[in-house]
Amino acid sequence: MGQVVSTIISAVTMIFIARVLGAESYGEYTITMIPVSIAMLLQDLGVSTSITRFCANYRQQDDNTRLKEIVWTGILFTLSISTVVSLTLFFASDLISSVFLLNPRLGYLLKVASFAVLGNGFYSSAQAVFTGYEKMHLRSIIQIIWSISRGIFAVALVWLGYGKFGVIISYSLSYLLAGLLGILFVYLFIKFRNGSELVGFRGIFQLLLGFGLPIYAGSLLSSGLSQWYNSLMILNVPTDLIGNYGAATNFGVLVSFLTMPIGTVLFPLFSRVDRNDPQLKLLFDSAVKYTTLLATPIVALLILMSSSLIQVIYGLNYPYAALYLSGYLLLFVFEGLGGTSLSYLILGIGETRVSFISMIVTFIVGVPLSFVLISRYQILGLIAASIIAPRFGWLFIIFWMKKNIGFTIDWSGSLKIYGLTIGVFIVSYFVLNFLNLDGWLKLVIGSVLFFALFFLGLPFTRILNKGALRELDKVVSVSGPVTPILRYLISVIRLLTK
């Protein structure tokens, strides 16, 4: 629920910003964030991922001394690196904006944005601890504080006439505020038994970096590929089209807010299960099925409604955003082939080398492919390269899983979900075209029609059998105020299945 609330707030904020700034200014804001995202990657060295894994692992072993060492050594290390990277970005901002961004006017924006790197160091290390300890309520509180503060600061400063400069200020302030509160929460709420002391800093550094560096190296390759894409985009694409693409990608959060909470809890969960435990396959299959069941229909609906959605939200300021949105959303259709669950499974069982090799494969394919596609097809080429290149790394992991763990994806379950989604998409498309609707009316009627058809189709595909319905009934019992609604829907599916 915290992820949902945070994502909705962030989405509304970014839509407001994009609508007010317009394509040109929003394109400059998008370009300014490129070196900031690189700096945020450089600051971590994979330590945040290591903190989460070893907190989960040592809690399982009830090793309190090691837990204290992992938490505070990891936090202090991350903060030290973040400070250095933030200062480097601040003093090099003019050079970066001139040489890399090809726009010297963005230097002052980059200076302000550099403080977000420091705040992110606090934020990411605290969130890693909360996830490892499964203190998801604390993680959600910090995440919501970040979203709300960013929204309030951004709307206020843009309203006062500060434009993209105000948006950058809000970005940095929100990270600093949420990050400092996160560290305070770790100090107040993460307790250790009396007598546990900090010992063996050197050994803990080796442990954190030994696990984290292969992940970090893989992330560098992945981010390096993304920045290669961004560099080609800056060289080949006009700023207004970059703004259209940035406006389109804002809707990606509508999918990720469904998949990210699952991924967040899967990593510590997989870290606690032995690779030879029969439960591992059950956990993996369930994770893939439910993530696909949530993400795939949302993706299909957003593609179906892309033109009306852009028109209603942005007006006529972003004429190419609907096309870019439809292409960009295809990145999320691969949950049925492992997607988020596959990545966290590999990391959870400690196979960082496998993850790293898959990144190498993706990088080797992505560099020449993107050079050809982006130079010829601009944003559409960028989207195509982003979709095609990772599939080669995915193939490597699939073959490795089958050979070394003994199982792979439940292909039949995923194909059923894909088949149902495609069928519902086709029927909805022809019905809406026949009715000739537009604007809000099309969004409302189309959404109701799509989900009604999808919901009614579930029992007939046998995607949710009796065992799966029993699992869901247990899951929704901790869903708070929406529990009665979800249980009613499950009861209807159960009745239709019979």
Write the DSSP assignment of 63-127 as a string of letters. -HHHHHHHHHHHHHHHHHHHHHHHHHHHHTHHHHHHHTSS-GGGHHHHHHHHHHHHHHHHHHHHH
Residue 271, pLDDT > 50, answer: yes
**Structure tokens, 250:** 């804002």
**pLDDT recorded at residue 387:** 92
Per DSSP, the three-state class of 237 is coil
**pLDDT recorded at residue 196:** 47
Residue 233, pLDDT > 60, answer: yes
Residue 450, pLDDT > 70, answer: yes
**pLDDT recorded at residue 257:** 62
Interatomic CA distance for residues 292 and 418, integer angstroms: 9
Interatomic CA distance for residues 186 and 323, integer angstroms: 44
Interatomic CA distance for residues 58 and 134, integer angstroms: 13
Cα Rg of the chain, angstroms:
23
Q: CA 216, 218, 219 angle in degrees (round to 5)? A: 60
Residue 143, pLDDT > 80, answer: yes
pLDDT, one tens digit per residue, over 149-198 is: 988 998 888 888 888 888 899 989 999 999 999 999 988 888 776 554 55
Q: CA 137, 140, 141 angle in degrees (round to 5)? A: 85
Residue ranges covered by each domain of the chain: 1-199, 412-497
pTM for the model: 0.68
- String of DSSP letters for 268-279: HHHHTS-TT-TH
Most confident residue range from 93-107, 172-186, 219-233? 172-186
How far lies 23's CA from each of 47, 238, 380, 416, in Å?
Answer: 37, 10, 17, 40
pLDDT, one tens digit per residue, over 110-129 is: 999 999 999 998 898 888 88
